[in-house]
């Protein structure tokens, strides 16, 4: 019940902010607003003030602002002509329609810095000295000549005190050479690193810190649990290979081809040995023993200016992720089965709320950003579709045929309904096979 209530509140905030944008700019432009509704369908409650009826309706998956003279074929009296939407200059109509998604974008940019000021959970290694742990062969760090154990002290003359500063500099410098000073066993060396661009556009260095191979949890039905591995154990050796990092653990297990391996673990200072034969996960196509990494997070608050920097950067990352995902869906890199609908969103909202107010705000910002960007796409029915028609009107110097607009909007509505069916079906399938999916993503 708490999850459902939180979901409705979150959705209500996003819809309210969106419709408030349309409403406020319409009032500024002198357009009459007849109705301001949160939700669709039968009215639950509301009131009328001035010319506007404010109401909350039964179905919370949207909302609308009904303006005077909104449709080109709508009859408008001479008295109402001055406040008719259709009879306003093109520039004002564009501003009214664009205001909704812009308000969602503004909300995201405002909320993200606030989350950093409140405090967020970040990986503990970000506060550690930037010592190189794993270098991926053939990637940027390897090409720059970095080695495990190197400590990066400067980038382009600026001191680098921790992994957080290092990650930020690399992320903001895709395909730009960075001059680095490193400490290798007391010897100072100069290296040049050119970060490679990731799918999201951020730079990646191709090297990582050491991630302690400690067990966080175990999955039922997998060999680690059956062998006696426990949460809190640290894997120190597999066969003849010493394990100092989680990636080394993953590599050994995935390359095992199901052969029995001897695992040596540290448990409260004692060394214990276990013989484990990794199990093939047919859905994922890899060998697993059924463990997840122990969480290594710390709670951190940021100052005002630092919060703004991190918040804007996070908004950029989220936007890039959205466009990357959409591109992947179009070219076939991603399946439609990866899309989620209201059920999945409600579940994630509930989980975020359980993890703290900051986590909830971050997810609200993420949803608001997506809502704002997607609403600007030139798809009939969406705000972007209206803006596209306004663009054609500006080019042709005349309003488009009402019948043509109505037909395209019907097509757009059908496509959106089909999408809703797909994502809702995906949600139902996820609920049905939740145990199976847990096994797929578990290590």
Question: How crowded is residue 316: how many other Cβ atoms within 10 Å of its Cβ?
Answer: 15
CA pair distance 86, 90, nearest whole angstrom:
9
CA pair distance 74, 69, nearest whole angstrom:
6
Q: What angle do CA 67, 61, 32 make, to 5 degrees?
A: 10
CB 350 within 8 A of CB 7: yes
Strands 187-193 and 203-204: unpaired
CA pair distance 98, 77, nearest whole angstrom:
27
- The active-site residue, picked from 19, 70, 164, 248, is 19
Q: Is 19 a catalytic residue?
A: yes
- Give the torsion sign (CA, 83, 84, 88, 90): positive
CA pair distance 62, 195, nearest whole angstrom:
42
Q: Which residues are known to be catalytic?
A: 19
């Amino acid at each position: 019940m708490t999850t459902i209530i939180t979901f409705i509140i979150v959705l209500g905030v996003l819809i309210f902010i969106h419709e408030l944008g349309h409403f406020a700019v319409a009032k500024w432009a002198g357009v009459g607003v007849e109705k301001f509704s949160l939700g669709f369908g039968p009215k639950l409650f509301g009131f009328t003030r001035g010319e506007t009826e404010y109401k909350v309706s039964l179905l919370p998956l949207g909302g609308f602002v009904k303006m005077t003279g909104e449709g080109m074929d709508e009859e408008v009296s001479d008295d109402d002509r001055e406040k008719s939407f259709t009879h306003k200059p093109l520039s004002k109509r564009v501003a009214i329609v664009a205001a909704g998604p812009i308000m969602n974008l503004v909300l995201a940019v405002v909320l993200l810095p606030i989350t950093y000021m409140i405090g967020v959970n970040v990986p503990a290694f970000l506060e550690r000295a930037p010592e190189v742990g794993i270098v991926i062969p053939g990637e940027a760090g390897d090409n720059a000549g970095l080695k495990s154990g190197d400590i990066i002290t400067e980038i382009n003359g600026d001191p680098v005190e921790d992994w957080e500063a290092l990650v930020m500099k690399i992320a903001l410098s895709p395909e730009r050479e960075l001059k680095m000073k490193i400490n290798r066993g007391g010897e100072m060396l100069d290296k040049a690193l050119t970060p490679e661009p990731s799918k999201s556009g951020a730079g990646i260095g191709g090297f990582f810190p050491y991630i302690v191979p400690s067990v966080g949890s175990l999955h039922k039905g997998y060999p680690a649990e059956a062998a006696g591995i426990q949460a809190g154990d640290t894997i120190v050796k597999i066969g003849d290979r010493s394990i100092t990092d989680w990636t080394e653990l993953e590599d050994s297990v995935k390359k095992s081809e199901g052969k029995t391996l001897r695992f040596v673990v540290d448990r409260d200072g004692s060394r214990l040995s276990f013989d484990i034969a990794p199990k093939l996960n047919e859905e994922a196509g890899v060998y697993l023993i059924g463990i997840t990494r122990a969480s290594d997070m710390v709670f951190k608050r940021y100052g005002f200016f630092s919060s703004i920097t991190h918040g804007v950067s996070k908004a950029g990352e989220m936007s890039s992720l959205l466009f990357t995902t959409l591109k992947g869906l179009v070219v076939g890199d991603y399946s439609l089965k990866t899309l989620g609908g209201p059920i999945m969103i409600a579940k994630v909202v509930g989980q975020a709320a359980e993890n703290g107010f900051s986590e909830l705000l971050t997810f609200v910002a993420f949803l608001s950003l997506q809502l704002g960007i997607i609403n600007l796409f030139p798809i009939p029915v969406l705000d972007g579709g209206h803006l596209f028609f306004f663009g054609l009107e500006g080019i042709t110097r005349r309003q488009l045929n009402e019948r043509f607009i109505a037909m395209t909007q019907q097509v757009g509505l059908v496509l959106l309904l089909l999408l809703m069916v797909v994502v809702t079906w995906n949600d139902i399938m996820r609920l049905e096979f939740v145990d199976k999916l847990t096994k797929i993503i578990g290590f």
